[in-house]
């Protein structure tokens, strides 16, 4: 009995001692120091994620909405713009791409970049960066469907998910990624499918690349098309992007809209055709007018999915209208019309060779 009592007194004395308390604290896992965390740069451009009643949140204010972000990354901020996505100009797109490229080139220890954008044209900006920033480090584009003054604002959660993906080593080499609603989608494949719902960004038949869950970032598949580090597009010498317009096929559509675009300086036109390439009205006349003047016409589908395959080129001798139409008409593969526009703009900064441009639409 005395022996058991002595043991109990020893244990009690140990638990109450300062040394024991110190040991218990030391045994708990400690958070990594800020200097040891992956550094991720937020480049804010505006959009609904920032657009609160009475003004727009800055990049610093957005980061302040994420008190737990330092569990995964050390955040840095940069305010590039603070506009609705549709108000950004193509010149600003160029400047943003060049800025991200320079940042990743100069700061080799930076783990990744997060870009905020309005959701209306988010998928376009993401694909432009996917083709034009030549780096294998993660570039994540994020936004929100509800503004900071709205009940149920999801912007902070989306942004924190974006930081987590940018800091994840598994995200490297996968191209520009779009992160919203706990899901990871490829910039090339994702599209906004609903004007209001939170799950609006989807890759339809292709499916998500991965998810951001409470325990970790999980990837299920990869993107096999060329992008980012493997891209051939170099924007350093490019001052302006060529004009490329998108026109839709609808019953009885006039070809004079195509002619007008050409006459106003379009160097390329993307046709969002019915089904697998059908036109209507006098659009064939407009396409012949465009290709006859050396303007590229890319054929895509308005259906939301499906592939437009390149056809065997036929026609008369070079210089005839039929040969010109065949030469300058490009199959858009499975790219959505607005994505095909971006690829054609970048293609035209490099070449006027129809065969080379068709190759690009096959590879990217």
Q: For the chain, list the domains and their CATH numbers.
A: 34-230 (3.40.50.1170), 244-363 (3.40.50.40)
Q: Which of 45, 135, 42 lies closest to 95 in space, CA to CA? A: 45
pLDDT in tens, the chain (364 residues): 444 444 444 433 433 343 333 333 233 333 455 568 999 999 999 999 999 999 999 999 999 999 999 999 999 999 999 999 999 999 999 999 999 999 999 999 999 999 999 999 999 999 999 999 999 999 999 999 999 999 999 999 999 999 999 999 999 999 999 999 999 999 999 999 999 999 999 999 999 999 999 999 999 999 999 999 999 999 999 999 999 999 999 999 999 999 999 999 999 999 999 999 999 999 999 999 999 999 999 999 999 999 999 975 444 333 334 445 579 999 999 999 999 999 999 999 999 999 999 999 999 9
Report d(CA 307, CA 331) in Å as an integer: 9
DSSP 8-state assignment for residue 85: G
Q: DSSP of 87-130, one letter per residue?
A: G--HHHHHHHHHHHHHHHHH-TTEEEEEEE--SSSHHHHHHHHH
* Of 48, 119, 121, 300, catalytic: 48
Question: What pLDDT score was predicted for residue 33?
Answer: 56
Q: Cβ distance 321 to 292 under 8 Å?
A: yes
Q: Cβ distance 76 to 42 under 8 Å?
A: yes
Q: Is 48 a catalytic residue?
A: yes
Report d(CA 117, CA 93) in Å as an integer: 12
The answer for residues whose C-beta is within 8 angstroms of residue 57's C-beta and 6 or more apart is 49, 50, 51, 65, 148
Question: What pLDDT score was predicted for residue 318?
Answer: 39
Structure token digits, residue 313? 């080129």
Q: Which residue has the tokens 């799950």?
A: 199
The model carries a pTM of: 0.88
Q: Cβ distance 90 to 80 under 8 Å?
A: no
Q: Cβ distance 130 to 194 under 8 Å?
A: no
Residue 179 CA to its chain's centroid (Å): 9
Q: Which of 186, 219, 218 lies closest to 205 in space, CA to CA? A: 186
Q: Which of 260, 62, 241, 80 lies closest to 163 in space, CA to CA? A: 62
The answer for residues whose C-beta is within 8 angstroms of residue 104's C-beta and 6 or more apart is 110, 113, 133, 135, 137
Question: What pLDDT score was predicted for residue 97?
Answer: 98
Q: Cβ distance 337 to 305 under 8 Å?
A: no
Give CB contacts under 8 A, 24+ apart, made by 303-311. 303/275, 304/191, 304/204, 304/336, 305/204, 305/205, 305/334, 306/276, 306/334, 307/333, 307/334, 308/273, 308/276, 308/277, 308/332, 308/333, 308/334, 309/333, 310/358, 310/361, 310/362
């Amino acid at each position: 009995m005395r022996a058991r009592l002595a043991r109990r007194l020893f244990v009690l004395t140990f638990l109450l001692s300062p040394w024991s308390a110190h040991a218990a604290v030391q045994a708990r896992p400690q958070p990594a120091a800020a200097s040891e965390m992956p550094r991720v740069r937020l480049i804010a451009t505006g959009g609904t994620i920032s657009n609160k009643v009475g003004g727009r949140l800055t990049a610093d204010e957005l980061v302040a909405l994420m008190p737990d972000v330092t569990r995964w990354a050390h955040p840095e901020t940069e305010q590039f713009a603070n506009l609705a996505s549709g108000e950004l100009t193509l010149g600003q797109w160029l400047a943003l791409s060049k800025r991200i490229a320079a940042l990743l080139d100069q700061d080799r220890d930076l783990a990744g970049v997060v870009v905020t954008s309005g959701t209306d044209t988010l998928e376009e900006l993401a694909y432009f960066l996917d083709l034009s920033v030549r780096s294998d480090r993660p570039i994540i584009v994020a936004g929100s469907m509800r503004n900071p003054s709205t009940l149920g604002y999801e912007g902070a959660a989306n942004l924190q998910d974006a930081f987590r993906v940018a800091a994840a080593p598994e995200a490297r080499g996968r191209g520009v990624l779009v992160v919203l609603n706990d899901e990871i989608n490829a910039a090339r494949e994702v599209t906004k499918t609903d004007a209001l719902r939170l799950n609006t960004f989807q890759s339809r038949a292709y499916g998500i690349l991965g998810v951001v869950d409470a325990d970790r970032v999980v990837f299920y598949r990869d993107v096999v098309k060329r992008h980012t580090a493997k891209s051939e597009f170099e924007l350093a010498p490019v001052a302006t992007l060529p004009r490329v317009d998108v026109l839709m096929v609808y019953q009885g559509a006039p070809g004079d809209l195509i002619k007008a675009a050409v006459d106003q300086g379009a160097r390329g036109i993307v046709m969002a055709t019915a089904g697998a390439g059908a036109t209507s009205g006098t659009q064939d006349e407009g396409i012949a007018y465009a290709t006859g003047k050396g303007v590229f016409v890319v054929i895509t589908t308005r259906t939301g999915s499906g592939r437009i395959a390149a056809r065997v080129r036929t026609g008369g001798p070079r210089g005839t209208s039929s040969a010109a139409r065949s030469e300058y008409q490009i199959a858009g593969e499975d790219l959505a019309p607005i994505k095909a526009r971006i690829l054609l703009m970048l293609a035209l900064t490099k070449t006027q060779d129809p065969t080379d441009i068709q190759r690009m639409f096959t590879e990217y």
